[in-house]
Amino acid sequence: MNKAPKVGIVGAGVVGLTTALLIQDEIKGAQVSILADKFENETTSFVAAGVFRPGTSFSGPDDGTTKQWVSQSWDHWNDLVMSSDAPLAGLTYLSGYIFSKRNPSVVRNHLIEDVVPIYRSATEEELKICGDGWKYGSFFTTLLVESRLYLPWAKKKFLSKDGIVRFKQIQSFSDLKNDYDVIINCTGLNSRELCSDNKLVPIRGQIIKVEAPWVKMAFYGDYDAYILPGFEGVTLGGTRQYDSFNLDVCKYDAAGIMDRCSELLPALRKARVIRHAVGLRPHRSPVRVEGEIMEFGSDTTKVVHCYGHGGYGVTCAPGTGKHAVKIVKQFLMTNQSKL
């Protein structure tokens, strides 16, 4: 290609912004635009606690690809956490425990045990840290990406490299058919409508942000209980309600979250609540990272999909983004219909 390729990314959540920065790095001279109808605190990404910890069901099209997404993502975040930008981008290392009273498999994670620097069984003494009855446990070190800081940092970095950011709501990819050589679809849960994709399902998550500066470690317990200290406060979670589109805060969920988290750390009962929040995780198995040539009458548009990260979009945005960039490069060089 002689002229600068034009790449349009739809979506300004963690997946869209991270993929946009990777395009700028890997396709020199490309003219890159981000188009979105929601930014920063309006996105699902903003609700995430941002811990690097894929669930064991997180899945790409095959085991090899899943592992590659996870390990490339770790490398990417690990480079950033070691850079001078880390505090501005909201990155920090985080260590903690995962405990269960019932199920030994809950405390294992085959996707990250060989990736993060520490992942080991908890000792008998450590199993008593959060009170009696915990039978199984692991200690691990991972990292945390605070979206409240990362999203504006990534947008600023993108703009500083001549990226273009536009507020735009699209009804269909045909709206953009004449504007870009390739479009990357990072629209999260909205791909359900944009791509008529019923495999994409919301998993509703509710959290409480509390002021508890004495909490310096992560704790996970049974029934989706988690305590994750970040830059702003401590995130207490959570819920995982399949196929629920309800974005309202539920007081019964909030009470359940506080009960389960204060069973782990009783002092949390007295912590000041900063806010309650709800988000819909865009769950799809497998996550869709795939090229498609869309036909609109006599026109065609090359689209690279990158959506469906469920509860692990912060964790795996860099790995899936790299995969999407690879397909974009192939699209720019060839006319293949399915990659």
Ligand X SMILES: Cc1cc2nc3c(=O)[nH]c(=O)nc-3n(C[C@H](O)[C@H](O)[C@H](O)COP(=O)(O)OP(=O)(O)OC[C@H]3O[C@@H](n4cnc5c(N)ncnc54)[C@H](O)[C@@H]3O)c2cc1C
Structure tokens at 262: 């204060």
Q: How far is the CB of 18 from ligand X (least distance, A)?
A: 8
- Helix/strand/coil percentages in the chain, nearest 5: 35, 30, 35
Nearer to ligand X, 5 or 54 (CB): 54
Nearer to ligand X, 33 or 45 (CB): 45
- Three-state SS annotation for 94-117: EEEEEEECCCHHHHCCCCCCCCCC
Q: How far is the CB of 214 from ligand X (least distance, A)?
A: 21
Cα–Cα distance, 237 to 267 (Å, whole number):
16
Helix (H) or strand (E) holding 93: strand 91-100
Q: How far is the CB of 10 from ligand X (least distance, A)?
A: 5
Nearer to ligand X, 77 or 127 (CB): 77
Cα–Cα distance, 68 to 66 (Å, whole number):
5
Select from 221, 320, 327 the least CA-distant residue to 268. Answer: 221
Buried b (16+ CB within 10 A) or exposed e, 301-319: bbbbbbbbbbbbbbbbbbb
Q: How far is the CB of 132 from ligand X (least distance, A)?
A: 28
Select from 206, 87, 90 the least CA-distant residue to 148. Answer: 90
Q: How far is the CB of 156 from ligand X (least distance, A)?
A: 16
Q: How far is the CB of 193 from ligand X (least distance, A)?
A: 8
In the three-class reduction of DSSP (H, G, I as helix; E, B as strand; rest coil), residue 169 is classed as coil
Cα–Cα distance, 200 to 195 (Å, whole number):
10
Select from 274, 280, 303 the least CA-distant residue to 291. Answer: 303
First to last CA, the chain: 19
Nearer to ligand X, 47 or 212 (CB): 47
Q: How far is the CB of 200 from ligand X (least distance, A)?
A: 10
Select from 147, 120, 149, 151 the least CA-distant residue to 136. Answer: 120
Footprint of ligand X (CB under 6 A) = 10-16, 35-38, 43-45, 47-51, 168-170, 186-188, 190, 194, 205, 207, 237-238, 279, 281-282, 307, 309-315
Nearer to ligand X, 30 or 35 (CB): 35
Q: How far is the CB of 208 from ligand X (least distance, A)?
A: 10
Nearer to ligand X, 127 or 278 (CB): 278
Exposure of 46 in the CB half-sphere (CA atoms within 13 A)? 13
- Three-state SS annotation for 258-312: HHHHHHHCHHHHHCEEEEEEEEEEEEEEEEEEEEEEEEECCEEEEEEEEEEEHHH
Nearer to ligand X, 14 or 127 (CB): 14
Nearer to ligand X, 24 or 315 (CB): 315
Q: How far is the CB of 35 from ligand X (least distance, A)?
A: 6
Nearer to ligand X, 209 or 302 (CB): 209
